[in-house]
Chain A
């Protein structure tokens, strides 16, 4: 073995931010190999995936549209990870947010109340937070690890939505399709750019970036959260309540994911359907790590992930490439990121040959 890994004297800050870039480039290269293996011209496919969506106004607004739920979910996941919590159930919290907010839209939409949209936003956030509060309770009260409980509750939430749109909330004039009525105009988020689908939810997501940054970097609560995550024992000596950190971290993550779900329901979807998201809640885990768990980094990462979703749809339309190809690229992105992250704390050195 001519090469060996050894610990760096200090973690490399350059590598910390270089690593996501490297991972993105490697994942693109890996994607090219997958396209070639499937019998497509890799260069044309990569151009369609990464460049074509950015060349039109329509593409740019769709990018913002897809980045919105990713950004909201990923910020929540990142805050939770900073507090030492693995919330991998954002998909379920997103679903419950869509159900809670969508329920208000179905009950009171079309009556012209001024409060309908604010109430839907609040209910969306509350629905997600309530769903995340269950794992928080199970962790603080019974020590059940959140990684499995959040995920299991995701499956339950999706089945619950399936029951609603197949049963009590089904559109009576919908030819028995499993979906709710379309929301009335007053229960839809206003469109920002005429003729596109970009809605006001993107502003909420953008607002969440500086707010989350301020919470983590500028408040005592954020400082406590990070201490609990980085050094649980030091936090205990300092008297910071780990239980309170769990409640705050998980409920905040749930509220943001719930908001994301409501924005999908009251935005591009406009009703409740059996699946409210093509896996945004899981892709947001990749986004959170790619963005280094920092709100502003996550903004960039969410745009990249939105581009992969958008480009993937374009590939399906123009080259008949299966949408599943993008899922493979997402997975590779996280793998390459974790592999190159190894070199933040360590480096490769040449091993000198030993002489007898």
Chain B
């Protein structure tokens, strides 16, 4: 039975590596479907990771840590919303600013907590984790956040395509003038979408600092926020494709750690390039057909809206 166990372990590891990308990616997907391009995902994830870690280390409650992380991500998103939605500033520049600010802020607040040990989410929910058998241990690693991430494609898909609110959100993202003329509150919808994106990015960051590698280190998100952004472009703004893309990247991430196990003697530095190179390759493959991308992208993506026309 060792082969089956190796496969199970590989599957669980892939799902765990994909979870932060699923969370952050679906948050950004919803924001972009409402017409807002937020390039600050990396910054929101970092602040979520730091804030969630601090709350957990201070209280010993990882569930509280997850909540704090989601709130911290929302606060960052609110800052972005104030600038781009209320003041109508350039979304690309403000997203970059949010990431630069998030890198600095998370490093600053996380500094005193660097190296602090915490109990990871799994061992808090499953007190018997250490004593359990190897197969049971693998299954116990599938925690509630991971299940939430796996349900997101269905949940977000149902929201976007089967609910009235989702229809309005998509309308706002396609043409804010038309949605405004129909009496929908364009800014209110966009604020809600951006805040949801912030909460999901914060959760995705906290998954890294509370579950994936239960510790805080500076800049630990390591570009996953940017990969999530690339995945949204790759998915052509469709939930199913986004989920597939996230799982594929989870697998690429795991493959670099598993390479040694299969007898491949490659430098860890060269293997670490894989996810970033894969992102470039995926972007090239998906952008090659420009018409397809233009047909699928929300038509009002990145354009500021002011009601006083």
| Chain A interface (Cβ < 8 Å from any Cβ of B) | 4-6, 34, 86, 88, 138, 142-145, 147-149, 151-153, 155-156, 159-160, 162-163, 166-167, 282-283, 285-286, 289, 322, 324-332, 334-335, 338-339, 341-342, 346
Contacts and interface: CB of A to CB of B under 8 A. Distances in A.
Given A324-B108, A327-B104, A334 B97 contact: yes
Contact of A327 (B108, B267, B273): B108
B276 A338 contact: no
A158 to B, nearest CB: 9
Interface residues of B, number: 45
Given A153-B276, A155-B273, A342 B88 contact: yes
Interface string B96-117: 1100111111011001000000
A329 B79 CA distance: 15
B262 to A, nearest CB: 20
Contacts of A160: 269-270, 273
B83 A148 contact: no
Nearest to A168: B267
Contacts of A156: 273, 276-277
Contact of B87 (A4, A34, A163, A339): A339
Given A5-B87, A324-B111, A338-B89, A145 B97 contact: no
B90 interface: yes
Contacts of A5: 87-88, 306
Nearest to B93: A338
Nearest to B106: A324
Contacts of B293: 143
B175 interface: no
A167 B39 CA distance: 35
26 contacts: A6-B308, A138-B283, A142-B284, A144-B283, A145-B233, A148-B226, A149-B280, A153-B280, A155-B222, A155-B223, A155-B273, A156-B277, A159-B272, A160-B269, A167-B267, A322-B108, A324-B108, A324-B111, A324-B218, A325-B108, A328-B108, A330-B100, A331-B102, A331-B104, A331-B105, A338-B93
Contacts, number: 135
A167 B93 CA distance: 38
A243 to B, nearest CB: 13
Interface of B: 39, 79, 83, 87-90, 92-94, 96-97, 100-105, 107-108, 111, 218, 222-223, 226, 229-230, 233, 267, 269-270, 272-273, 276-277, 279-280, 283-284, 287-288, 290, 293, 306, 308
A156 B276 CA distance: 7
Contact of A329 (B104, B107, B223, B280): B104
Contacts of A147: 39, 92
B270 A159 contact: yes
A330 B104 contact: yes
A328 B92 CA distance: 19
A156 B100 CA distance: 19
